[in-house]
Structure 1
Amino acid sequence: MNPDYSLIVSQQRAFFNSNATKPVAFRVQQLRKLKVTLQANEQALMEAIDSDFKKSEFDTYTNELMLVYSDINEAIRNVKKWTRKKRTRTNLINFPAKSYVIPEPLGVSLIIGAWNYPYQLSFAPMVAAIAAGCTVILKPSELPAATSKIMAKIMSETFPQEYIAVVEGSVAETTALLEQKFDTIFFTGSVPVGRIVYQAAAKQLTPVTLELGGKSPAFVTENCNLNMSVKRLVWAKFLNAGQTCIAPDYVLVHQSVKHAFLDALTEEIRQSDFKIENGNYVQIINERNGERLAALLGQNTIHFGGTYNRETRYFEPTVLADSSFDDSIMQEEIFGPILPVIAYNDLSEAIRNVKERPKPLSCYIFTSDSQIKQRILSEVSFGGGAVNDAIMHVSNSHLPFGGVGESGIGSYHGIAGFNAFSHYKSILDKSTWFELNLKYSPHSLKKLNFIKKVLR
């Protein structure tokens, strides 16, 4: 039997309807409280995530907490500006009047976090919801159990349940939450689960933001800076042991530089010394995902790596040479430290192969040719990405982050996050000192001709 969360939702709706969350001063106060709380509990957060999948303090701070702190700081600096009504032009037919839009919080929000970056992908959307003036029910992923537990503990000690509540649990709890009526739902996770969330939201006509995934390509052209391209690619691909939604999923490398690319790739991986014990690497989240990744290797040509230790959940950084779009590993998002390399001679064919598949969350272009860069940017549809880098676009809060097509709906970070949890009311504010008699009865040909002349 599924639990009943109607009480929490009704408490939050009552609190929201009291207008307590709407003043800017209240929002800023809560954002500061969140930051102070996270900073005070940093050590406990570090220990929890280490116990879940051996993530180092360095990676936890730089990949997770630092980004959350940055989001909080930006929201505190800008929320007053974001909440102001915004003047727009008024057309002649409505003279005399002024027009503007007023941002208002959507209301009670459900945020469903992901396991791969459990702090960043839970707290970053929460920051946006707080800045927008919403209440929050957070459902962290159950896979990293210790991080879920510490988030629930910290948030319950800091905020009242009618404002921010954390619900722990698995499929049953998530299903029960999705049966409730929310004003907006924010989900980060896989495409299959995203479909389930979307269908549940549709029954209630609830707006959603879906941050999903997909097979993100990296183009390596014949005229790129090969050493720098490889250095940045290796870091991006094997960060978090490849368990990153915007990691380069596969590489399309020009045939003329393929061998040099593979040699440089191997050397860079060796120099990076990806080991769990030295803090440069993490475990695969659980045995099931480790076994899934091992099965994906199949009969592919392993250029480097390929070792998986089931006991320690250590999956060696792995490069597959001579891959093709027909391989089984190219039929699903890898979400692990396996990098297929596909050679191409014709850029048009490479682009066509990417376009024939679902639109990716990210795309990366490593080239020194501005024409190639512009061609890929204009022809390939994707959520966001980078030129001569990978993953780092997510660190710029001035860039909206989100997918397109099957890789997601909506975006967040910075003002985009504020917008995701807001509705903009459009207002025509009419003066009473003057009124043209054109729209009122009796209608006449003279009036119609005048209207046509004005609007021509």
Structure 2
Amino acid sequence: MSREQLVVQRARKSFQTGKTKPLEYRIHQLKNLLRFISERRGEIADAVKRDLGKSARGTELFETLGLEGEINLSMEKLAEWAAPRPVEKSLLTISDEVYVQPEPLGVVLIIGAWNYPWAVTLQPLVGAIAAGNAAVIKPSEVSSHSAKVMEELLPQYLDKDLYPVVTGGVSETQELLKQRFDHVFYTGSSTVGKLVMEAAARHLTPVTLELGGKSPCYIDKDCDIRIACRRITWGKFVNCGQTCIAPDFILCEASIQSQVIEEIKKCIKEFYTDNPETFEDYGRIINQRHFKRLMALMEGSTVAVGGNSDESQCYIAPTVLKDVTGESTVMREEIFGPLLPIITVSGVDEAIQFINEREKPLVIYIFSHDNKLIKRVIAETSSGALLANDCLVHFTVDALPFGGVGNSGMGCYHGQYSFDQLSHLRSCLIKQLKMEGVNSMRYPPHTAKKLGWARFFLLKRVNVCRLRRMALLATLAGLAAFAVQEPSYEFTDTTRCSFTLVCKIKHHHELLLGQMHKMQ
């Protein structure tokens, strides 16, 4: 029996004891995870520095700060999220209990990514813990230092049986995927995402795939180009461009291409100095394999800004490529690095067409003062998200679901979406062994009269809540009238109407029950 199989069996056995069911236990584990981030901030930052060349403040800003917020939100809202959720009633269920009860799925496999080795691995874990699951955590072997720290330190804070960390490469991941899980949460490339989904299908295991793609960025010629380029420069070159939601390429009219290049050039100097290679807040490419891949993507394109590199340091300067076409080498795959191609289009019509001719991206960015133009792009395109006049920041909004569509992924998470994604939303209907007359319409023999009643009950849309409110208000109005009127007890028009409504509801209810008894 393999190590991976033993780990999964141990997690399932521990889950089956029911220890994750109480909300107090889940909150205790979340508090421990929060304590881990706080107490091990130095080790986490050092690991990310060695993996990606990121500064300690950069690691806190883009890795652990969001995690802390996610954990705090989950602890604050857990009782609300886990509570039974009443649903709208119908005439058939007016006297029944009808609700949705979130329940844990079981054992979840979380396969993390290397570009943000803590944020994209532990954020799904927050949702898994909050939802009451066990979770096997598989950090990416590419960010090896972060994976090692996670393996060594996380078990000191979380239940080792319920939340084990499994390290290793492709073979270990493949062995994990042979096991039966109740959900698989994968963050990474579309190519590997297909393999994950194929493996999960053997056990009919549902998956969440957080993938990527070529996220376009359209700049309207009439917007504030200086501010637009400032925000695009930040969004593109954060983490050395190794961000799944980074603007992959720019679409703009030829008349503003030179201005866009000049403004981005100014911003690169402002953010990263004249020499980004020596600047602590500009990182490195994860390894030499990805370095070579990125250098090959530049072939055939004209460098407008940057282009400098050092293979020994896995360094590529912030780079802008101009006069790129849809057939250029750099447009064949997701860039995932500090290369920003500019493609000229005639206007928003051609931009929309260009976007729609390709796979659905994880996010579409648009910069414009024209709200109608923004709404048109929303209406005529499809993507995991759309963000107007900024980059990346939609990831920080826990009220928004984060996820892709089509080739950019399936499923979503963040905040309550993480909880719901990793829960089974169980339908619950509790009836009573009474009012059997109402059920006679479904029992044989199937007469025309019974069919007529069935049609009424099943197809007639009645707002039961409104009906109840009206009846309650009518009753209260009637009682109030009797309490405040003079001894003559004369009704006002309002009270008379309310009292009449109560009488009608009571009369129709009695008629209905009478008809039901006649059908028996």
Q: Are the equivalent residues in 2 in contact too, given 1:96–1:434 (CA < 8 A)?
A: no
Residue 385 of structure 1 corresponds to: 386
Q: Are the equivalent residues in 1 in contact too, given 2:277–2:317 (CA < 8 A)?
A: no
Matched to 1:151, the amino acid is M
- The 5 A counterparts of 1:26-45 are 26-45=25-44
More helix by share: 2
**Quick check: 1:303 aligned with 2:310?**
no
- The 5 A counterparts of 1:317-356 are 317-356=318-357
Larger radius of gyration between Structure 1 and Structure 2: 2
In structure 1, how many angstroms separate the alpha carbons of the residues matched to 2:79 and 2:88? 22
Q: Are the equivalent residues in 2 in contact too, given 1:54–1:276 (CA < 8 A)?
A: no
- The alpha carbon displacement at 1:137 in A equals 0.5
- The 5 A counterparts of 1:45-124 are 45-124=44-123
Identity rate, percent? 39
Residue-by-residue CA offset, 1:192-231 (whole Å, 9 max, x unaligned): 0000000000011001000000000001001111111111
Residue 130 of structure 1 corresponds to: 129
Matched to 1:101, the amino acid is V
Residue 444 of structure 1 corresponds to: 447
Superposition TM-score, scaled by structure 2 size: 0.86
Residue-by-residue CA offset, 1:17-72 (whole Å, 9 max, x unaligned): 11110111111111001101111011111111111221101110000000100100
**Quick check: 1:205 aligned with 2:204?**
yes
Residue 493 of structure 2 corresponds to: none
Unaligned runs of 5+ in 1: none
In structure 1, how many angstroms separate the alpha carbons of the residues matched to 2:11 and 2:424? 18
**Worse overlay, 260-269 or 133-142:** 260-269
Matched to 1:39, the amino acid is S
Matched to 1:185, the amino acid is V
In structure 1, how many angstroms separate the alpha carbons of the residues matched to 2:88 and 2:374? 37
Matched to 1:183, the amino acid is D
Residue 230 of structure 1 corresponds to: 229
- The alpha carbon displacement at 1:276 in A equals 4.7
Provide the alpha-carbon RMSD of the alignment: 1.3
Q: Displaced runs of 4+ in structure 1, greater than 6 A? A: none
Matched to 1:171, the amino acid is V
Residue-by-residue CA offset, 1:65-90 (whole Å, 9 max, x unaligned): 00100100100110110000000122
Matched to 2:165, the amino acid is V
**Quick check: 1:23 aligned with 2:22?**
yes
- The alpha carbon displacement at 1:273 in A equals 1.8
Residue 406 of structure 2 corresponds to: 405
Residue 193 of structure 2 corresponds to: 194
Unaligned runs of 5+ in 2: 461-520
Q: Are the equivalent residues in 2 in contact too, given 1:296–1:328 (CA < 8 A)?
A: yes
Q: Are the equivalent residues in 1 in contact too, given 2:111–2:138 (CA < 8 A)?
A: yes
Residue-by-residue CA offset, 1:118-153 (whole Å, 9 max, x unaligned): 010111111110011111110000111111000111
- The alpha carbon displacement at 1:449 in A equals 2.5
Residue 247 of structure 2 corresponds to: 248
Between the two proteins, the alignment pairs up a number of residues equal to: 455
- The alpha carbon displacement at 1:95 in A equals 4.6
Residue 486 of structure 2 corresponds to: none
Residue 177 of structure 2 corresponds to: 178
In structure 2, how many angstroms separate the alpha carbons of the residues matched to 1:161 and 1:32? 15
